[in-house]
Structure 1
């Protein structure tokens, strides 16, 4: 899409969920019909099939999406570190281009509640909470307005937030200037004080004891306890997406509005560590992502690997706004304009809190390392790492067989190690030393060197 100076730039809405796995969606094979609106959006717009977070925990992931920089670069490498007031966000860039900016929902980039104006990342309209999971409950939604007065929104929390977003859009629909709205839900994140996934009344029972993703079926965790409620929350989110799309259509804005649907990270249901995320596994890092609207209609299924950090430059370029040099991601817009453009062959993941970890994910391989002597709450990075994971996603897509140290896969590990080091340095980290895992052998395993590049 090329915009001339006389054209009104498209409105932009980010529909952002929290802790949503990619395989909650029908277009990724979930058989429960949870996401007909997302599936339709992905089929009619652009479906980013291989979409991954670059930091599988709330605050750091959000810092990446707001700034377009890795969490170690902005300093927000773990939860509880406020976004530096000097960092430029999407709001700053859109506002400078003449957009009206608004934020509704969970922020998680400040260190106080309510969030003062100086820590709102430049958003003009504000109806949010730093930690929505603590200021609200399922049917008691409390957020703060521009004056930091508490606002009680009626209805189930997803509906309450969606109502607020529709009111914002309706209020801007007749304005000459375009708007940029960031709508940030808590769902399907757990309600912390309950350690439960509370859906709307009546939405848990239809999905309890039904289909279970293969990794959860094999590894257990808390899936049998929580999956019914989790799926019920996803269902209501999709209904909210449908309501938002309907509102845009009724206001005549559907052809003028770019909508990005994505999530901050996934959910492994206590199968990879003692909580729900903070691991390199696809259950933690792979998310559902689709974009529709001007420039993205009929884009089809994009099979290149795309990181959360690639989405800020994508939105800016799609709106005709220059991409700042400090952004570390790569816009996908050129991939949609030209068949000859080649997308990324890998994504890079930084892991904090549960460990100081790093990983690289290609279409076939997953290679991860950890710094055993570092504390993920204190240390942002390390100069030394130990091999931790190697998965062959072609034969083991749900990462049930860790191949690290397997002698037949030594050359693959070496190639992936070099690629990971290259990505770490490009992200602004120092070049580390890696310690190899203890070697072991298994007679039926063999891999060829050319397979390491896939």
Structure 2
């Protein structure tokens, strides 16, 4: 095992609500993400990457702990990590300096108490950054819980803080002359998430105009309805993503300037996607790729030249992957799998599908293979108070080879009965492997033709009750 001095630095850049197809590597034609695309080209690109749960807190808990929400207890928003060990604990135990910048969403108060910071030693964050800031007024809290206002556009401000962390942790000790300890930094942006209280996507000045009316994902065109906000918000959404990529480039340049680029692993991914109210009454919390599929690339030692991986992977695989790449033993309690073996040879132990837990909008379970999407729900369960069920109903089945935008639900169509049965068994195995009790899954009612999508219309009442947060009172610096 490498000594701490020989281990690579590690930086995770984590966005909020970013679809996989907003990157050039993911097929976007607008040239939005040249920095990410270069990471994907020169490093390792995980072309079919999926969240562990398409809502903020459970997705973030999974990517910190390497465990599903039913294991960590963080299965919906409003829950915390409790005493779960995170990547920060494991890297600190191996001699790393650890730091967190940006949105957390895993605590029960603002500012985040020191015992709810997941073991990160250096802190410049906010539990609900969307409520303590807006596009040009970023307020986070420091190690002492004091508010700090960071200048500039919000993603720029957080990248600036990340660059300062890199600079501070790249200097050799003035007394010993030895190289600084390796560092693990988690930089968590709020963009391209909407600004909750006004339901807008505030891009930097002038950026929304660049992209308005230029491109629309096919699933959003097909799923267009009175409830969809895609045409209204796509320009701002894409403008935010363009600015994120520029910040990523500045961070990479900073690493280059302090001589740390070749010794630093950078991972870039997101907590979940965004379907712009075409699948349910808000932006995520559904089984569809628009909600669960995310960009994911790594560069640096062990990942440069890794190429494109088309096997389905999950963001829950990031913690074991980074620990493995740093030569640190992966804890047995982690339920994700390191992708490092996939870069060199096939790994018979690596799952053949991504497993997703869906909460809040419904109590659901999904598996996503290279070709198929299979989803079940527990219709009698309260998804806000129950995190699992012993009985589910087959709800959705998509043949992605012939229906890539998930417009024809073939659950219950007799021609797909054998496929559904195989996927049903695979899903049960994945649920058991995640620590759940093996459930009964009832087959979908028989029907002769695929179901077409029927977008739900927001009635203006249930989202604030179920999903809303009260804006915290923030001390002004």
| TM-score band, normalised by shorter chain | over 0.9
The whole-number CA distance in structure 2 between the counterparts of 1:370 and 1:222 is 26
**Alignment-derived partner of residue 80 in structure 1:** 78
**Alignment-derived partner of residue 312 in structure 2:** 305
What SS is found at the alignment partner of 1:317?
helix
The whole-number CA distance in structure 2 between the counterparts of 1:339 and 1:424 is 24
Shift of 1:5: 3.5
Task: State TM-score, norm by structure 1.
Answer: 0.95
Asked whether 1:153 is paired with 2:160, we answer no
**Alignment-derived partner of residue 381 in structure 2:** 374
**Alignment-derived partner of residue 415 in structure 2:** 408
Which aligned runs of 4 or more in structure 1 are off by greater than 6 angstroms? none
- Please point out which of 202, 206, 213 is paired with 1:209: 213
Asked whether 1:285 is paired with 2:282, we answer no
- Please point out which of 313, 321, 324 is paired with 1:317: 324
What SS is found at the alignment partner of 2:312?
strand
**Alignment-derived partner of residue 237 in structure 2:** 230
The whole-number CA distance in structure 2 between the counterparts of 1:138 and 1:62 is 22
**Alignment-derived partner of residue 464 in structure 2:** none
- Please point out which of 303, 307, 319 is paired with 1:296: 303
1:98-143 Cα offsets, whole Å, 9 max, x none, are 0000000000000100001000001000000000000111100000
The whole-number CA distance in structure 2 between the counterparts of 1:342 and 1:209 is 45
The whole-number CA distance in structure 2 between the counterparts of 1:301 and 1:396 is 23
The whole-number CA distance in structure 2 between the counterparts of 1:354 and 1:316 is 33
The whole-number CA distance in structure 2 between the counterparts of 1:246 and 1:200 is 21
1:48-90 Cα offsets, whole Å, 9 max, x none, are 1111101000000000011010011000000000111x21000
The answer to whether the 8 Å contact 2:432/2:438 transfers is yes
**Alignment-derived partner of residue 460 in structure 2:** none
The answer to whether the 8 Å contact 1:335/1:342 transfers is no
The whole-number CA distance in structure 2 between the counterparts of 1:6 and 1:20 is 34
**Alignment-derived partner of residue 22 in structure 2:** 24
What SS is found at the alignment partner of 1:283?
helix
**Alignment-derived partner of residue 69 in structure 2:** 71
Equivalenced residues, count: 440
**Alignment-derived partner of residue 115 in structure 2:** 118
The answer to whether the 8 Å contact 1:304/1:343 transfers is no
The whole-number CA distance in structure 2 between the counterparts of 1:189 and 1:287 is 14
**Alignment-derived partner of residue 394 in structure 1:** 401
Shift of 1:27: 1.2
What SS is found at the alignment partner of 1:197?
coil
The answer to whether the 8 Å contact 2:126/2:140 transfers is yes
The answer to whether the 8 Å contact 1:266/1:283 transfers is yes
The answer to whether the 8 Å contact 2:109/2:127 transfers is yes
User: Where in structure 2 are there 5+ consecutive unaligned residues?
Assistant: 173-179, 451-477
**Alignment-derived partner of residue 472 in structure 2:** none
The whole-number CA distance in structure 2 between the counterparts of 1:340 and 1:25 is 28
**166-175 or 17-26, which deviates more:** 166-175
The whole-number CA distance in structure 1 between the counterparts of 2:181 and 2:422 is 50
**Alignment-derived partner of residue 33 in structure 1:** 31
Shift of 1:14: 0.2
Q: 1:442 to 1:193 in 2, by over 3 A?
A: closer
Where does 1:344-355 land on structure 2 (aligned, <5 Å)?
344-355=351-362
Where does 1:235-254 land on structure 2 (aligned, <5 Å)?
235-254=242-261
Task: State TM-score, norm by structure 2.
Answer: 0.91
The whole-number CA distance in structure 2 between the counterparts of 1:123 and 1:6 is 17
The answer to whether the 8 Å contact 2:17/2:272 transfers is yes
Shift of 1:434: 1.3
The whole-number CA distance in structure 1 between the counterparts of 2:44 and 2:245 is 17
Shift of 1:7: 5.5
The whole-number CA distance in structure 2 between the counterparts of 1:438 and 1:68 is 36
- Please point out which of 11, 15, 19 is paired with 2:13: 15
- Please point out which of 343, 357, 361 is paired with 2:364: 357
Shift of 1:225: 0.7
What SS is found at the alignment partner of 2:106?
coil
The whole-number CA distance in structure 2 between the counterparts of 1:4 and 1:215 is 47
**72-81 or 332-341, which deviates more:** 332-341
The whole-number CA distance in structure 1 between the counterparts of 2:263 and 2:418 is 50
Asked whether 1:329 is paired with 2:326, we answer no
**Alignment-derived partner of residue 446 in structure 1:** none
Shift of 1:343: 4.5
**Alignment-derived partner of residue 164 in structure 1:** 161
The answer to whether the 8 Å contact 1:58/1:79 transfers is yes
Where does 1:52-201 land on structure 2 (aligned, <5 Å)?
52-84=50-82, 86-175=83-172, 176-201=180-205
Q: 1:161 to 1:442 in 2, by over 3 A?
A: closer
